[in-house]
């Protein structure tokens, strides 16, 4: 396993590689619904000059190498939050096969309009996978996309049902991970050895089984204090200990967790703070 840590201020993110390549996960954003820094906040985290303390709204991108996906490389984005356009530009994404939605909160869906760029480039509708409840919210929030006679140039999407059962998209097996966000059902996702869970504070029983053998777990850890709908730091660490991945990364981090330089050294071995742009590879 190799690591690359750029000097502070360098825009290029570090990269983690396991010996056998195949599946890659990029943390497009690791912040909460407000992002970090928070508007008008002058706390130590929000005013930190460390680029690791700058966090766009949470989103991630799975890439599966061509030799592991029939028909060539596959790219899937999990959630299109308000920063989706910026995240796609920063990651220099040229191809997007599908969008997978965890749930319907605004910080996870607001950027859907910007899939238009991929419509134009790929000359096809964008496949979107979501539960019926989330689809209903998308139809409401983006009514112009689903109008009977849509305005020319609006995003073109094809809705596909998620019911919590494993599915195959473009030859890639994707395993949904049912969790609870207080009382709201949310889905995480696992592809091969990597699992991504955000906006959770409880796992469904089947999710523990679906995480067996996972090498890399990305999980939300909002802050140190307890929260009604998110794992706090201690709770996230308890989940990581139970799952037992080789490495774990924390995401959906608020300014209340603390500065990267202060929090990271106190984490258990093999557990790391997520960073915007971090790319993790395994498989």
pLDDT per residue over 272-283, tens digit each?
999 999 999 997
Instruction: Write down the domain spans for the chain.
Output: 20-273
pLDDT for 5 beyond 80 = no
CATH class of 20-273: alpha beta
Per-residue pLDDT tens over the stretch 146-167: 999 898 899 999 999 999 999 9
Q: Strand pairing of 98-100 and 74-78? A: parallel
Mean residue pLDDT of the chain comes to: 92
For the cut 80, the answer to whether the pLDDT of residue 2 exceeds it is no
pLDDT at 68: 67
Q: Dihedral through CA 19, CA 102, CA 179, CA 75, nearest 10?
A: -20
Q: What is the rounded average pLDDT of the residues 168-191?
A: 96
220-263 confidence digits (pLDDT tens)? 999 999 999 999 999 999 999 999 999 999 999 999 999 999 99
Task: Give alpha helix (H) positions in 80-144.
Answer: 84-91, 106-109, 116-122, 132-141
pLDDT value of residue 72:
84
pLDDT digits (tens, 9 = 90+) for 29-42: 999 999 999 999 99
Task: Give the N- to C-terminal CA distance of the chain in Å, as an integer.
Answer: 12
- Examine the pLDDT at 15 and tell me if it is beyond 80: no
Cβ atoms < 10 Å from Cβ of 167: 16
- The token pair at 61 is 């991108």
Band (7; pLDDT cuts 50, 70, 90)? very low
Helix (H, G, I), strand (E, B) or coil at 281: strand
The phi and psi torsions of 260 (rounded to 5 degrees) equal -50, -45
DSSP reduced 3-state for 163: coil
Q: Is 143 left (phi over 0), alpha (psi -120 to 50) or beta?
A: alpha
CB 44 within 8 A of CB 63: no
- Map tokens 């924390």 to a residue: 250
**Cα–Cα separations (whole angstroms), residue 174 to 164, 165, 166, 252:** 10, 9, 6, 22
Residue 223: both structure tokens together: 């802050």
51-85: per-residue pLDDT in tens? Answer: 999 999 999 999 999 876 777 899 999 999 999 99
Tokens 């109008």 sit on residue: 147
- Distance (Å, whole) CA 211 – CA 194: 9
CA distances from 66 to 38, 171, 226 (A): 39, 10, 42
Tell me the pLDDT tens digit for each residue of 183-213: 999 999 999 999 999 999 999 999 999 999 9
Residue 1 pLDDT: 26
Calpha distance 43→199 (Å, rounded): 24
């Amino acid at each position: 396993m190799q690591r690359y840590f750029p000097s502070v201020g360098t825009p290029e993110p570090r990269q983690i590689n396991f010996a056998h390549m195949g599946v890659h996960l990029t943390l497009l954003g690791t912040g909460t619904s407000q992002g970090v820094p928070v508007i008008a906040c002058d706390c130590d985290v929000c005013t930190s000059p460390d680029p690791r303390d700058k966090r766009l709204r949470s989103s991630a991108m799975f890439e599966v190498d061509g030799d592991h996906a029939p028909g060539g490389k596959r790219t899937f984005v999990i959630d299109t939050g308000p920063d989706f356009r910026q995240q796609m530009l920063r990651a220099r994404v040229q191809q997007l096969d599908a969008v997978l939605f965890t749930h319907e909160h605004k910080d996870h869906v607001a950027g859907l309009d910007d899939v238009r760029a991929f419509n134009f480039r790929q000359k096809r509708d964008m496949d979107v996978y979501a539960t019926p409840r989330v689809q209903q919210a998308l139809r409401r929030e983006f009514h112009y996309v689903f109008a009977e006679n849509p305005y020319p140039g609006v995003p073109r999407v094809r809705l596909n049902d998620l019911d919590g059962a494993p599915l195959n998209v473009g030859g890639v097996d994707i395993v949904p991970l049912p969790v609870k966000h207080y009382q709201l059902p949310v889905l995480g996702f696992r592809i091969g050895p990597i699992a991504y869970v955000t906006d959770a504070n409880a796992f469904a029983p089947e999710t523990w089984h679906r995480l067996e053998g996972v090498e890399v777990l990305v999980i939300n850890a909002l802050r140190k204090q307890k929260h009604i709908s998110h794992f706090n730091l201690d709770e996230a660490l308890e989940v990581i200990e139970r799952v037992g991945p080789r490495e774990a990364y924390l995401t959906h981090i608020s300014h209340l967790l603390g500065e990267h330089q202060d929090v990271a050294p106190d984490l258990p071995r093999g557990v790391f703070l997520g960073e915007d742009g971090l790319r993790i590879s395994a498989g």
